[in-house]
Amino acid sequence: MVALGAVVLAGAAGTNGATIVTAADKPTTSVKPPTNSATQSSEVSAETRERARRAMEASRSQAREARADLRRAEQRDHQAVPAVAQTGSHTAQAESLVPDDPREIAQSMLADYGWDSTEYECLDQLWISESNWDHTAENPSSGAYGIPQSLPAEKMATAGADWATNPATQIEWGLGYIEDAYGTPCSAWEFKQANNWY
């Protein structure tokens, strides 16, 4: 007969091939007091969210840098193409590989962010209101500069050393700023209309 609270382990020596271990024979372990699982869970959840946010931010930043590097390489290739090519007795203008119009540059970049023509319409309105797409526009009172009116202007250096003179670099920085701060150009435009800044 096995006493209440006893455990039977098969295969050891004893009556009928079983060993009886009572609660007194078991090693004791200390029991930790219960922790507040809600607090612990929210701390873990907050840490997990913060790690995920940082990873997404780094990923977006790396993608922007890769796109900017690709664009700069395309511009270098474009500059290496002679402006006029001789073909037999005819002179033909070399086709532009990179658009010169800042609006066309921006349109060509939108797909990199997953944005469509509706988002371009909002971006167009936003940057008309900021700089009229002038890459040399400077706000005399604040010092905001360029197409996206970066303040301070030097922040655009994260998109390229040519930030002061290259519309594509300014646009790349501006689109990244919009993505990080507002999610989309339409959200940025809505904010600008409500607050007169973005």
Alpha-carbon distance 99 to 97, whole Å?
A: 7
SS3 139: coil
Tokens for 125?
Answer: 């309105």
Reported as a single tens digit per residue, the pLDDT across 19-44 is 444 444 445 555 555 555 555 556 66
Does the pLDDT value for residue 14 go beyond 60?
no
158 or 59: which carries more pLDDT confidence?
Answer: 158
pLDDT digits (tens, 9 = 90+) for 97-119: 457 899 999 999 999 999 999 99
Whether residue 173 contacts residue 109, with contact meaning beta carbons closer than 8 Å, is answered with no
Amino acid at 142: S
